[in-house]
Amino acid sequence: MLDIPKSIARAFPKLNKRQWAILVLVAQGFKNKEIAEFVGTTEHVVKNYMRYLYDMFGFYNRVELALWYVRWEHEHGNEL
């Protein structure tokens, strides 16, 4: 599982490791089914996590979420 960068953990303390992994994988262009296989869950669970992430960050779709992550990573790097 991927570690959550400290700056994200501070800004979004409710984000857990699985949610973080899903966010990173979405930003890398993986489909829900592929993400489910990677994190060891079902596609349905990934879709639920995606809805939670949209609400948490205030986005409406995976493109917005992925673009936000790419911008964040560009600005902050991987501050583990």
The domain spans of the chain are 6-74
Tens-digit pLDDT profile for residues 23-78: 989 999 999 999 999 999 999 999 999 999 999 889 999 999 999 988 988 887 65
End-to-end Cα spacing for the chain: 14
User: What is the DSSP annotation of 48-63?
Assistant: HHHHHHHHHHT-SSHH
Query: Which amino acid belongs to residue 9?
Result: A
The model's pTM = 0.80
| Rounded Cα–Cα distance for residues 29 and 20 (Å) | 14
6-74 CATH: 1.10.10.10
| Rounded Cα–Cα distance for residues 40 and 9 (Å) | 22
